[in-house]
């Protein structure tokens, strides 16, 4: 399986009894990897928000982009996982 760096899913699966081993990294194209945030400029036109700007964002536009992912080997446990243990909220 592949997860974004910082994902809690591998640890949650380990807690549920699965064997999860990191085996490398790869890249994926994600539909919303790049975000551009816009504010209304002094003349009423849309302009890109600058880093640290305190003005409220008027619009957020997302684009596809390439991101690094961590690849894991997922092995089902010898005994069935605890059915009371939920992975997703």
Query: What are the tens digits of pLDDT across the range 42-58?
Result: 888 888 888 888 888 88
- Separation between Cα atoms, residue 76 and residue 71, nearest integer Å: 16
Radius of gyration of the chain (CA): 20
CA 3, chain centre distance (Å): 8
- The answer on pLDDT for 66 being more than 90 is yes
Domain boundaries, the chain: 2-75
- Separation between Cα atoms, residue 21 and residue 38, nearest integer Å: 41
Looking at the chain, the whole-number percentage of residues with pLDDT higher than 90 is 46
* 56 contacts 46 by C-beta, under 8 angstroms: no
Residue 32: predicted pLDDT: 87
Q: Mapping DSSP to helix (H, G, I), strand (E, B) and coil, where does residue 9 land?
A: helix
């Amino acid at each position: 399986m592949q997860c974004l760096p910082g994902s809690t899913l591998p640890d949650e699966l380990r807690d549920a009894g699965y064997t999860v081993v990191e085996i490398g990294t790869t890249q994926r194209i994600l539909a919303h990897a790049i975000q551009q945030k816009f504010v209304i400029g002094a003349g009423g036109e849309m302009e890109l928000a600058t880093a640290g700007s305190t003005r409220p964002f008027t619009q957020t536009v997302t684009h596809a982009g390439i991101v690094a992912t961590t690849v894991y080997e997922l092995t089902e446990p010898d005994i069935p996982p605890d059915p009371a243990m939920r992975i997703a909220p």
